[in-house]
Structure 1
Amino acid sequence: MMFFGISPLRARHVLAVSLSIILLGFAALLALPAKAQEAFEPTRFSVEVVGEGPDVILIPGLSTTREVWRPHLGALEGHRIHLVQVRGFGEDAGVNAEGPIMNGLIAELARYIEANGMENPAIVGHSMGGFIAISLAADHPGLPGRIMIVDSLPWFAAIMVPPGTEPNMAQVEAQATAMRAMMLSMHGRDMPEGSNDALLSSYTIDQANLPRLRELTGDADLRVTGQLAYELMTSDMRQAIAAITVPATVVVPQNPAFGTEEATIAFYTQQYDVLPNVEFEVISPAAHFVMVDQPAAFEAALLDFLAD
């Protein structure tokens, strides 16, 4: 009897060869690295990858582009650097133009780490980026290897009240809502040059740095800034950080204009009271953009963090 015009013996041979090809192809698929199996393109942020070596993820602050890290890449030779940039800061806002952002951003960052086969990358975040780092470490304790938190807090509302005072969530919610509405109302308008200088001037010790800060923050979509500012102000992570299992370094800029070093470190220590395995690195004199004010001291702290 013929099997579709092929003798039974020939049919068995063809079937055996076909099965072998299928099994070999399946085995080859399983042998592919995880990166090739699960290609992932984040929608909440973009990434520029530089160098080779152990993975380091750098996350800038609110309204800030990845260029804030560019001057420090030379000090990180021998590492594979992932320069994250939130969409809306220096590029089109995309999906960040509407609705909540932070939770989706953190979830995508976790998926990006997994999809690229990273083993316990170091994560460095400034301001909002520091909040993202602690949130990721708390929500996904198995992913990062260590985190560096550069002048950031587990609840940003702490800076809105006098030291030692507990923020009231209802009041914070009202203030954050009003701030977001104001920023949304300004979206699309031509802002006068230097209109943000009063705020930026408090972010640096040396006012000669103002042009650089304008450049780093000047191309921000106010819809994204407003929404993320709202989410940062209304998210209290002070107890959640107890779940973080990896070593953490908090970089504390000490600005003599705003108090003594003792008072400054006392404030940050209180905010991170429940965070296990934490160290504080004080850099003085420096303001919020500590890496701009004290680049050499910041790089030294960064290298010590990566060497531990």
Structure 2
Amino acid sequence: MASTPRVSVIVPHYRDISGLDRCLEALSRQTWRDPFEIIVADNNSPEGEEWVRQAIRGRAQLVIVREKGAGPARNGGVAVSTGDVLAFTDCDCVPEPQWLVEGIRALGSADFVGGGVRVLVDDPARVTAVEAFERVFAFDMKQYAEKLGFAGSGNLFVSRKVFDEVGGFRSAVSEDRDFSWRATAKGYKLGYSDLAQVGHPARKTWPELAAKWRRVNRESYALATDKGQTWQWALRNLLLIPSIAAHAPKVLLSRELVTARQKAGALGVLALSRIWRFGDVVRILTTGEKVAAPAVEGGSVPH
């Protein structure tokens, strides 16, 4: 990698103009001093190319990727990019000003790097129960990188050389786990930088959270099946209900929640989500149900 690399920021997008505007505005405030390009990879939003182009307002290059899925959208963005370093974030993420500087710095001691994620809420004093749950449990990127061996694709730095040799993202599986595990299997080192941070809005309602987990369950099942690890996946998920009691202290001791009402709401969502996920896992195992690659939506990282 060059001492001052050319950087390409890849932003997949689907029908989230307000989120994309916030993301592009945050990218305009980066402290990285050298020029860098931004590629918005629109996943064929039905409103059409001109709708997205008007929202971009010249702040990025636009490419339309018709194959559905966040993985194919990211790959499509890479295909038209020119950078030595690829920095991935999502259209609903808000990169901190030092995001590029810190992520590229971390690449000095690793082959690919995951960054931290801060959960965003509109009003910390008036959060919904789902937002309270998300503030405690969402996006523990340090654990994902250091204990589970993968970096979330919504905050990922990798050289083009490594990306090309690993082979890009696949669709209809947990793309971040799959990419990271293929990279480490080739001998590439995964790093983590909490300073290379982006903000990500908390989900606010139960339907939003359930939809996220429905997708993640099927993507992780597809990846486990692909690797011949279906029963290992099933056994891990059978522990979902006992995990309620194991994880309750994390809610009670959390500094992110300031009132008893917030903690009670988070505990309720913790129990509901684990019971719902257990039932969904049983449904997948009994029916073999899979899901077609969805259009881009906020990251696929589980919590």
- Give me the TM-score of the superposition, normalised by structure 1: 0.30
- Give me the TM-score of the superposition, normalised by structure 2: 0.30
**Larger radius of gyration between Structure 1 and Structure 2:** 1
**Larger helix proportion of the pair:** 1
